[in-house]
Amino acid sequence: MIEDPISFEVIKNALISCSREMSQALRQTAFSPNIKERRDCSCAIFDSEGKLVAQSKDIPVHLGAMPMSVKTCINKLNHELVDGSMALVNDPYSGGSHLPDLTLVAPIFSRGERVAFTANRAHHADIGGESPGSMPGLSTSIHEEGVLIRPRIVGKDFLLKKNLVKDVLSETRTPDERLGDLSAQVAANNVGRKRLAEVAETFGWEKLTSSFTDLRQYSTHMMKQAILTYYRKSADFTDYLDSDGAGNWNINISVKIAIEEGGVQVDFEGTSEQVSGNVNCPLASTLSSVYYVFIALFGQDIPVNEGCWSVINVRVPEGSLLNPRYPAAVSAGNVETSQRIVDTTLGALAKIVPDRVPAASQGTMNNLTIGGIDPRNGSMFSFYETIGGGAGARKGMDGASGIHTHMTNTLNTPIESLETEYPLIVRRYSIRRGTGGKGKWVGGDGIVREIEVLSDRCTISIQSERRMSAPWGLGGGEDGETGRNFLMLDQRAHSLEAKSTIVVPKGTIVKIETPGGGGYGPPPT
Amino acid sequence: MLDIRIQEQAHTSQVFISRKFVIHLFEMKIIGVDVGGTFTDIILTCTTTGEQYVHKVQSTPQSQDLAVLRGVEEILEQHSIKPDDIRLVVHGTTVATNAMLERTGARVVLLTTSGLEDVLEIGRQNRDEIYSLEATRAKPLVEREDRIGVNERVSAHGEIVTKLTNEDVRDVEKAVDMRRPDSVAISLLFSFKNQIHEKRLLESLRVSSESYIVASSEVLPEFREFERTSTTVLEAYLGPLVVNYMKRLDNAITKLCPNGRLTVMQSNGGTMLASQAQGRTIGLAISGLAGGAIGGWEIAKQNDMDRVITLDMGGTSCDISAIHGQIVVRPDNEVGGLPLRVPSVDVKTIGAGGGSIAWVDDAGILHVGPQSAGAVPGPAAYGTGGEHATVTDANLILGRLNPDYFLGGRVSLDVEKTNSAIENIASTLRMSIQESALGIIKISTANMVQAIREVTVERGIDPREMVLIPFGGAGPTQAVDIADALRIDRILVPPYPGITSAMGLVCTDLRVDLMQTLLIGACRENETRLLSVLKQLSADGRSKLIDQGAASGFRNIWKIDMRYSGQSHELIVDIPYECDDLVSESIKRFEDLHDDSYGYKLPERDIEWVTARAEVVAVSEDFKTLRYTETTVAEPVALRRVLMNDGTYQKSKIYRRWELAVDQIVTGPSIIEQLDTTTYIGQDWSAEQKANGALLMRRNEH
């Protein structure tokens, strides 16, 4: 099947290390803590058609979605993508995820021919819109969430051209930081281009590009074999989002999975129509979530590239929650709905592959944004974080506590960094004991995080889930406990909705309790 | 004239090589003892004559000191050296590393700022593997019920927000007393800014408790609470075990060699007195790895090479270090998933050795390692029960290894067992045995090349400019393949590749690294403060070295971790010692370094001094270069068919290493055999025996 297995292995490793080097360059040169401390960014290499060839191991929700952004740039800009150019995009309706995630795409040429692309995606701490941090709790249209960037050329001669992003910068609250982070994204693509050229020097571009195809075929083959173990099995499942922040509750996601000769059919027919709030999930993020599940379940040792999902056929009705039309609000779709898509898909697969699917994990990222004026220097600040929770238990293994699961893997900001940089104090950061679902194997516990604001008129935005419907247990295991959000002022606690934006006085403590994971198997009596 | 004697003893795998030179009276003799997974290597050297003796004994993993003592006793006895003549015994040990990997350290109680007891458990809240449905991370070393919150708080500026009262202190004493731990770690928020609360607890607990007690402001006065806490906990975790080990060994060595001091290799590449390990045991976390890098670097220096890659390839793992002008000491490390913020010699370890196992996956793709056959059951060729084909087996098929002269004939290799192990791989791959063996070597090479790339190319260093220094038992056998893949054209094989790590121990400097986090603006008004911190750190460092017996010849180094205000990662900037204009000098150097590393400067941004660092080094006496004087040109001892990378067989000349004359040039394909390794000289290579004992290989020019 593979003609030269040895070169194959060597090239595969070289391509992965190339993506990893890009990622490292991006983190080291970036300016915002969200990229440098929390590592909210990802890098990858694509063939001349925009198909994924190799990627860094960063944030799952970025990685599965980037190929659509690259293909969109090729379709829209084609001839403008000349040697040395770079294209920027964040459009959630054609390959983007949510507005803060900016994707920068760069073509690679050999002897006048476009042979490959590198691309990277980074979550910028502010991209304009109505609330600081551009992660509003209650938006109902994309225009409230920030600047929408359709594919456009922003770089020439391997450098960022400031005048081509002037309009974007003028919309954000922190233009200097944006420029710094965008330069870092340029640097990552340049590192990728140089490194690929070195690999090509050894093997020749012809062999390298043909190995792109080999790699894809290899992954397709491996993935197909793994999935076809469950040939002719099928199952369905429905799970629910709590709310969209705009008056819609219990929003359903429904899936039917069938394993057939050519691969697996994943059909979201019957899922809710798109909603007015911001939990609509762009198609690229939807696909990314489904791909994540299949790679994690069937392909842990298979190199991740487009070949993995050529055997996964996903059908998502247009205009639905998971494939919304412009100008639907989407800011929580990528971070919250993506987690529920994983839960739903795993829920169905648990009926097909019962022993290997874990109970539901926390099913949210608990996005918290705090912005305002820093009294220490009078300038604007915007702090964004996501908070870990309980992982679901699986057969033979308890769930981990206080950890990021499924579609994200960002780090926390160290408390000593956070308190030095922002007018905030962390009062409590602890495991929320006993919140994992009981079972033969218990779910992981959530986290309790309390942050006090030291500045007046701070805007707090929360996008969270699993505040009503609990992360489910499996095989007789109990559900994990739901999460809760509070404001505490003058010793009194006030409950907050799962999606909130609120302005608070100095001395207010925002308290987030994240959900526990589901248990597995009947608990001992 | 070099005198090599090889002795084999029936019941143990003892081997020693001795080198005899004219012995002067009154010289200082030093012993280096390096503990490895299989063997404990001992080298005895004289600082004035360059005389060296080498010895190997089987390691005693349950109690490493047994093999250490036995080795020292035997080497003295074998060469009739008076124990009184030994002035220094330098030890590289894996006691701390193993305790971390195997989780056999002390029971620790952790004191934290209240509300933050779980920081140790949550870590950075990320998981190890992204495409995994089981999110996992290393378990914390302290159980929840042994983590005690203390009612106190210090602000980001070091002001006391909640004061620690006498009553609080008494409560803590009681809580600790109830738990009866082996040790106590104290790590409070912002203690690097203001250590008054930590100090208070430390002092009262030292009175009330018998435990081993450490505070984060002493262990690691740096910001980022998780990394500081984790490091402090590790100190508490390792302390009792390591301190006891050092005491026991120190007493035994003193009894054996009354004029000798026992020092131990630290992760940072310097040594410290074994008797002073108290409170500094995390400095020994990778004690066993640093020696190899230093030994390889010593060989490089003797040959006037300043850009080298050391490759220490043993049976199960391969330790790689890229050295560019000087040994790199990095500020952090990780062992068994536990982050460790202590300066460590930059060594990358991967699971690739002579024992790495070859296997084929479902799609017919060949892989090598990371699983290893280890010493038991060993490669199939050992005939000791191993059934899997390993890298050693592949090398035997290729003809690079001599079945009758492996480890100088100590182990005889079973060609039939190797054939059948490789045949299993070959039939799955539908390839010939020869093609499969070549494939195994290519993939094993690719794994090491990948690791070398990570420490070179990924850091912007071009390996093609560097010299490869392969050692360990398996390194020199595959060095040309690695060099070819990286387009390196020079390889330097040390005189005794098998004991290069032990040699590293005896040419090590005494060294102390101290640091203090400041997190202040880089401006005139803060300059006095920075200067006094740097001076204090240097003075503290010198007094620590004087305690260890160093008298003079101190080298002082200052460094500052700096960043643009708003950034959260720092660049480490070298500053001239006793610099009188810290502001301009540090800012200029920082901006140049930033431009160099990242391609831009931000002239209008404020700059911060994050951490001040002082290093003090008492430079050891120069390690004496070996003098090798053989003048009779060696003839090949045999000819052997060796399979080349292009699939053809070539008649290759076989030499014995210590028969080669100085300046003799051996052209490839050839093989040079010696007691502790086999060096393969590829088709396009030639090798030159040098007067200092090293073997320099060059790729032929076309």
| Strand, helix or coil for residue A13 | helix
CA dist B96 to B92, B99, B356, Å?
A: 11, 5, 25
> Do the chains contact at B458 and A183, CB–CB below 8 Å?
no
> Do the chains contact at B458 and A444, CB–CB below 8 Å?
no
> B486 CB contacts (<8 Å, ≥6 apart)?
B449, B452, B453, B463, B464, B468
> Do the chains contact at B429 and A447, CB–CB below 8 Å?
no
Amino acid code (one letter) for B94: T
Interatomic CA distance for residues B230 and B226, integer angstroms: 6
Nearest CA in chain A to B227: A414
Question: Mean pLDDT of all residues in chain A?
Answer: 93
Amino acid code (one letter) for B307: R
Average pLDDT over residues A389-411: 95
User: What pLDDT shows up at residue B343?
Assistant: 83
Instruction: Please give, rounded to a whole number of angstroms, the shortest distance from the CA of B179 to a CA of chain A.
Output: 21
Instruction: Tell me, yes or no, if B10 comes closer than 8 A to chain A by beta carbon.
Output: no
Q: How confident is the model at residue B5 (pLDDT cuts 50, 70, 90)?
A: very low
Per residue, the 3-state secondary structure of A451-483, as one string, reads EEECCCCEEEEEECCCCCCCCCCECCCCCCCCC
Burial of B62 (0-12, 13-18, 19+ CB in 10 A): exposed
Average pLDDT over residues B101-109: 88
Q: How many CB atoms lie within 10 A of CB A290?
A: 25
Instruction: Please give, rounded to a whole number of angstroms, the shortest distance from the CA of B68 to a CA of chain A.
Output: 41
Instruction: Tell me, yes or no, if B207 comes closer than 8 A to chain A by beta carbon.
Output: no
Interatomic CA distance for residues B125 and B568, integer angstroms: 18
- Taking contacts as CB-CB distances below 8 angstroms, the residues of chain A near B450 are 13-14, 17
Summarised one tens digit per residue, pLDDT across range B360-373 is: 988 888 999 888 88
* Cα angle B678-B681-B686, degrees, rounded to a multiple of 5: 135
Q: From start to end of B500-541, where are the E strands?
A: 510-521
Nearest CA in chain A to B442: A6
> Do the chains contact at B131 and A403, CB–CB below 8 Å?
no
> B543 CB contacts (<8 Å, ≥6 apart)?
none
Instruction: Kindly provide the ipTM of the predicted complex, given to two decimals.
Output: 0.92
Q: How confident is the model at residue A61 (pLDDT cuts 50, 70, 90)?
A: confident
User: What pLDDT shows up at residue B438?
Assistant: 95
Find the largest Cα–Cα distance for chain A. 72
Q: What is the pTM of this model?
A: 0.83
Alpha carbons within 13 angstroms on the beta-carbon side of residue A457 total 7
Interatomic CA distance for residues A423 and A374, integer angstroms: 6
Q: How confident is the model at residue B602 (pLDDT cuts 50, 70, 90)?
A: confident
Burial of A438 (0-12, 13-18, 19+ CB in 10 A): buried
Q: Which residue has the higher pLDDT, B416 or B517?
A: B416
Q: How confident is the model at residue B287 (pLDDT cuts 50, 70, 90)?
A: confident
Average pLDDT over residues A453-471: 96
Interatomic CA distance for residues A137 and A369, integer angstroms: 9
Size of the A and B interface in Cβ pairs below 8 Å: 181
CA dist B498 to A110, A521, B17, B408, Å?
A: 46, 53, 11, 12
Dig out the tokens for A14 from the structure. 């070289």
- Taking contacts as CB-CB distances below 8 angstroms, the residues of chain A near B446 are 6, 9-10, 13
**What is the DSSP-derived secondary structure letter of residue B458?**
G
Q: Which residue has the higher pLDDT, A459 or B289?
A: A459
Q: How confident is the model at residue B7 (pLDDT cuts 50, 70, 90)?
A: very low
Interatomic CA distance for residues A247 and A190, integer angstroms: 46
Decide if pLDDT at B453 tops 90.
no
Decide if pLDDT at A470 tops 70.
yes
Dig out the tokens for A501 from the structure. 């934006």
Summarised one tens digit per residue, pLDDT across range A353-372 is: 989 999 999 999 999 999 99
- Taking contacts as CB-CB distances below 8 angstroms, the residues of chain A near B364 are 1-2, 5
Q: Which residue has the higher pLDDT, A262 or A153?
A: A153
> Do the chains contact at A405 and B127, CB–CB below 8 Å?
yes
Q: How confident is the model at residue B381 (pLDDT cuts 50, 70, 90)?
A: very high
| Strand, helix or coil for residue B249 | helix
Interatomic CA distance for residues B431 and B426, integer angstroms: 5
- Taking contacts as CB-CB distances below 8 angstroms, the residues of chain A near B124 are 411-412
Dig out the tokens for B351 from the structure. 């699971």
- How many residues in chain B? 702
Interatomic CA distance for residues A399 and A359, integer angstroms: 9
Average pLDDT over residues A96-110: 96
Decide if pLDDT at A1 tops 60.
no
> A4 CB contacts (<8 Å, ≥6 apart)?
none
> Do the chains contact at B122 and A388, CB–CB below 8 Å?
yes
Residue among B126, B189, B597 minimizing CB distance to A410: B126
Average pLDDT over residues A255-262: 95
> A154 CB contacts (<8 Å, ≥6 apart)?
A86, A87, A88, A104, A160, A161, A164, A165, A182
> Do the chains contact at A394 and B458, CB–CB below 8 Å?
no
**In the structure, how many helices (H) and strands (E) does chain B have?**
15, 35
> Do the chains contact at B115 and A450, CB–CB below 8 Å?
yes
The 3-state DSSP composition of chain B as helix, strand, coil percent (nearest 5) reads 35, 30, 40
User: What pLDDT shows up at residue A3?
Assistant: 67
**In the structure, how many helices (H) and strands (E) does chain A have?**
11, 20
User: What pLDDT shows up at residue B26?
Assistant: 41
Q: How confident is the model at residue B185 (pLDDT cuts 50, 70, 90)?
A: very high
Q: How confident is the model at residue B549 (pLDDT cuts 50, 70, 90)?
A: low
> Do the chains contact at B118 and A402, CB–CB below 8 Å?
yes
Instruction: Please give, rounded to a whole number of angstroms, the shortest distance from the CA of A242 to a CA of chain B.
Output: 23
Average pLDDT over residues B613-619: 87
Residue among A5, A36, A416 minimizing CB distance to B225: A416
Instruction: Please give, rounded to a whole number of angstroms, the shortest distance from the CA of A140 to a CA of chain B.
Output: 31
- Let me know: does A381 contact A349? Beta carbons within 8 Å: no
Residue for token pair 């080349």: B644
Q: How confident is the model at residue A466 (pLDDT cuts 50, 70, 90)?
A: very high
Instruction: Please give, rounded to a whole number of angstroms, the shortest distance from the CA of A522 to a CA of chain B.
Output: 19
Average pLDDT over residues B142-155: 96
Instruction: Tell me, yes or no, if B646 comes closer than 8 A to chain A by beta carbon.
Output: no
Helix (H) or strand (E) holding B643: strand B638-643
Shortest CA distance to A185 belongs to which of A259, A101, A126, A108?
A101
Q: Which residues pair with B492 in a beta bridge?
A: B696
User: What pLDDT shows up at residue B29?
Assistant: 86
> Do the chains contact at B119 and A405, CB–CB below 8 Å?
no
- How many residues in chain A? 525
Per residue, the 3-state secondary structure of B83-102, as one string, reads HHHEEEEEEECCHHHHHHHH
> Do the chains contact at A9 and B144, CB–CB below 8 Å?
no
Decide if pLDDT at A62 tops 90.
no
Q: Which residue has the higher pLDDT, B12 or A268?
A: A268
User: What pLDDT shows up at residue B364?
Assistant: 85
Instruction: Please give, rounded to a whole number of angstroms, the shortest distance from the CA of B572 to a CA of chain A.
Output: 13
Residue among A403, A419, A447 minimizing CB distance to B135: A403
Interatomic CA distance for residues B439 and A211, integer angstroms: 18
- Let me know: does B364 contact B433? Beta carbons within 8 Å: no
Q: Which residue has the higher pLDDT, B623 or A127?
A: A127
Percent with pLDDT over 90 in chain B = 56
Q: How confident is the model at residue B605 (pLDDT cuts 50, 70, 90)?
A: confident
> Do the chains contact at B458 and A21, CB–CB below 8 Å?
yes
Decide if pLDDT at B21 tops 60.
no
Cis bond leading into A327, ω under 30°?
yes
Average pLDDT over residues A50-62: 89
Dig out the tokens for B686 from the structure. 């030639």
Decide if pLDDT at B623 tops 90.
no
Interatomic CA distance for residues B395 and B650, integer angstroms: 15
Q: How confident is the model at residue B2 (pLDDT cuts 50, 70, 90)?
A: very low
Residue among B127, B364, B597 minimizing CB distance to A1: B364
Instruction: Tell me, yes or no, if B127 comes closer than 8 A to chain A by beta carbon.
Output: yes
Instruction: Tell me, yes or no, if B135 comes closer than 8 A to chain A by beta carbon.
Output: yes
Residue to mutate among A126, A346, A403, with most B CBs inside 10 A, is A403
DSSP A63-75: HTTHHHHHHHHHH
Interatomic CA distance for residues B38 and A320, integer angstroms: 63
Give the strands of the sheet with B607-618, arranged side by side.
Answer: B15-18, B52-58, B39-46, B29-35, B86-92, B261-265, B271-273, B510-521, B607-618, B554-564, B571-575
- Taking contacts as CB-CB distances below 8 angstroms, the residues of chain A near B137 are 400, 403
Instruction: Tell me, yes or no, if B115 comes closer than 8 A to chain A by beta carbon.
Output: yes
Summarised one tens digit per residue, pLDDT across range A368-388 is: 999 999 999 888 888 899 999
Residue to mutate among A1, A4, A7, A9, with most B CBs inside 10 A, is A9
> Do the chains contact at A17 and B453, CB–CB below 8 Å?
yes
